[in-house]
Amino acid sequence: MPAANALHGHGREINPHQGLPARHNRVKMQSSAHEPLMKLSGSAQCVALLGLSVSCQSPPNSGALAHTARAPASVVRSAPLPGFMRGMNLGNGLDAPSEGDWGVVLSERHFELVAAAGFDHVRLPVRFSAHARLDSPYTIQEPFFRRVDWAIDQALSRRLSVIVDLHHYVELMASPDDHEQRFVAIWAQIAHRYRDRPASVAFELLNEPSGKLTGSRWNALLARAIAAVRANNPSRTVIVDSCGFAAPQRLAELQVPTADGGLVGSFHNYEPFLFTHQGAPWMGPEYQTPGIVFPGPPIQPIEPAAGAREFDWVRDWIGRYNTQPTSTNPSGPSVVRRSFDLASEFIARTGLRTYMGEFAVIDNADALSRAAYVRAVRQEAQRRGIGWAYWDDGGKNRIVDVERGAWVQPLAEALLGVP
């Protein structure tokens, strides 16, 4: 996840053409039941949980979505990434400044629920940079390392693969000159500690490179980090994000040693931002227009929120959202396909396997639109052979209430349902 909300001390607001903002908070949402999922037959987007009936409705423009969501007959596919095809992020836990600061403390229950639901892996965001010395040799605190050990063990004991994701190293992205050596040293320690772990443990070098860590600078630094990992993990799966907050548009800049078969390119998808981030409290006024549906157009035209009207690009986007058909609507499936087209171009250029480490929709959007979007993204990823992980932050992007053992519907069915 990118730089986080200002409430937690390191937020920033950005233009959607420059990169991605943060998506964590501690606002809780309603969940529907305690029992496991059961899929209903029929075409309506609905689910039943054992012992509980859930009303069935079609999302806005569901017929149009079904008609227009079809991608071209032939697409470039990623080679499979066994064990890392259907995943969930355990966000806002070990990536908080201290675990619990953002309302999430990992428990065995997190891993039990993910495994029981049918996921094959967890992405484990970890803020190693908050638990390592600032001076050489940049030693990672042993108690924190043991906590990461515990999380890895929890995943593996339930036959879940796990991605150890170095998350929220905001100091590196603000001042690369001062932190590049520390970043490489941190990875040398992680690689050494987990050198004997099975292949189901993967490494992700840096979540969403951004700021002063430009494309060329990130390419140079990632090569040093890969060398540190390969010193004692010669075949470990290593995931490398594009810069610009893992933007699919920036995959074209990502340069990695293509002869290393263990490397995987990665991007995140939150397009269209005005839909997925509508009303997010950590976002600027551009993103505060409520009631945006997916897919557009809406039944009744909407107006930009007061603060959003000051931005030309928002007024233009809302105008097109109100008037364009679903096939070309800026809140429609063509926007999702475009992100994956960029990923396919990266696959064709490099031959590397490719992974989508995050996608989600804030709970300010209506439930059926959220489900329609999640289903569209998940289906497109599957069509391209791209593994994925949903961004669950324990708050406004939450898909499971861990305390109650309840999955948020109809979102979970859209994520895990077939097709």
Tokens of 168: 């929220």
The DSSP secondary structure of 270-284, one letter per residue, reads --SHHHHTTT-TTS-
| Separation of alpha carbons 175 and 185, rounded Å | 16
DSSP string, 190-233: HHHHTTTS-TTEEEE--SS--TT--HHHHHHHHHHHHHHHHTT-
Residue ranges and CATH numbers for the domains of the chain are 6-416 (3.20.20.80)
What lies within 8 Å, CB to CB, of 136 at 6+ separation is: 181, 185
pLDDT digit string (tens) for the chain, length 419 residues? 434 332 222 233 333 333 333 433 323 232 322 222 222 222 233 332 222 222 233 444 544 444 344 444 579 999 999 999 999 999 999 999 999 999 999 999 999 999 999 999 999 999 999 999 999 999 999 999 999 999 999 999 999 999 999 999 999 999 999 999 999 999 999 999 999 999 999 999 999 999 999 999 999 999 999 999 999 999 999 999 999 999 999 999 999 998 999 999 999 999 999 999 999 999 999 999 999 999 999 999 999 999 999 999 999 999 999 999 999 999 999 999 999 999 999 999 999 999 999 999 999 999 999 999 999 999 999 999 999 999 999 999 999 999 999 999 999 999 998 65
DSSP letter string, 200-212: TEEEE--SS--TT
Question: In angstroms, rounded to a whole number, what is the distance separating the alpha carbons of residues 183 and 129?
Answer: 8
C-alpha to C-alpha distance for 238 and 191, rounded to whole angstroms: 11
Q: Give the Cβ contact number of residue 418 at 10 Å.
A: 6
pLDDT of residue 73: 54
Q: Is the dihedral of CA 267, 217, 282, 326 positive or negative?
A: negative
- At residue 208, the pLDDT reads 98
pLDDT of 417 reads 82
Convert the pLDDT of each residue in 357-381 to its tens digit.
Answer: 999 999 999 999 999 999 999 999 9
